Amino acid sequence: MIGALAGDIIGSIYEFHNHKGLDIDLFSDMSGFTDDTVLTVALAEAILLKKPYVDLLKSYYFEYEDAGFGSMFYRWASSDNMQPYNSYGNGAAMRISPVGFAFNSLEEVLQKAELYTAVTHNHPEGIRGAQATAACIYWARTGQTKEQIRAGVQERFGYALNRTCDEIRPNYRFDETCQGSVPEAITAFLESTSFENAIRLAVSLGGDSDTIACITGGMAQAFYGGVPAEIEALVEDRLTPELATVTAAFRKRYGC
C-alpha cells in the first residue's frame, strides 16, 4: 500500500495544477498526503485489527478533517448517518489497495473489495472500480503478466483499455468517477516501465492527479516488487506518526 500513498503524495500538488508531461518534480515542500492516504490507512487498520470500516472512516475523518475530502463523503462522515450513499466516485478505488495485498485468492479479494467499498460507494460503478483496482494488485503480486492483467480487466470488468497514455492525455479532464479514472490509472500502470515511471505517467494524464496516481501506485508497487527506497523515505517523512505506524504494521503483516 505504500505505493498508493506515494502516488497520492506525489500527485497532490498537480491535482489542481495539472502538468501534462513526464518531467514533474516528484516531491516538493508542498507535497503532502490527502484524503486518499487517510482512507487507505483507515482500511489497512480495519483489515489488521478486524475493526468495522465505517467506524474507522468516521474517526479518521474527524482526525484529519483538512485532508481534502470530497463533498459527499464530508457530508456523510460528519453526520450520524451510517448508511451508504450510492456513490460511484473514484474514492472507492483510491482507498482499496490494502485489499489487493492482504487476501490470497481472487474470489476473496473481490468479495472483500465489495464489502469494504459498499459501506459508502454501493453504486455498481463504485464497486466495479474498487474490485478492478484490487484485482489488478492481486494479479500483479501473484505473477501475472501485464497482458494477462489487461485481458483480465477487460473480460471481468468490461473496461476498455485500448488507448495509450499519449492518446488519453490531450483531451482528458478532471473526472471524479470510477468509470472516468480507473481505466486511465490502469493504463498508466500497464504502460509503465518502473514504479517511478508509472507515477509519472499517471500524473501526466491530468485530471484528478493524486487519485489517479494513488490507484496506479498500488498496482505498480505490486508488479515491480516494491517502491524505490528514496521515494519510500520521502513518503514516510510526510506521514503523521499515527499513519506511519499503521502503514508499517500492515506492511509487516502482509509482506508488502
Give the pLDDT confidence of 128-150 residue by residue, as tens digits.
999 999 999 999 999 999 999 99
Residue 157 has pLDDT above 90, yes or no: yes
This prediction has a pTM of 0.97
- Collect all residues with Cβ–Cβ distance below 8 Å to 31 and sequence separation of at least 6: 9, 10, 12, 13, 238
Dist CA 40 CA 43 (whole Å): 5
Is 125's pLDDT higher than 90? Answer: yes
| pLDDT score at 78 | 94
| Paired strand residues for 89 | 177
Query: Which residue's C-alpha cell is 518502473?
Result: 194
Residue 160, pLDDT above cutoff 90: yes
Measure CA 143 to chain center.
20
Confidence at residue 153, expressed as pLDDT on a 0 to 100 scale: 98
Residue 256 in this model has a pLDDT that exceeds 90? no
Evaluate if residue 255 carries a pLDDT over 90: no
What's the rounded mean pLDDT across residues 97-101? 98
* pLDDT for residue 140: 98
Name the amino acid, one letter, at 222: A
| CATH number for region 2-254 | 1.10.4080.10
Q: Where are the domains of the chain?
A: 2-254
| Model confidence at 175: pLDDT above 90 | yes
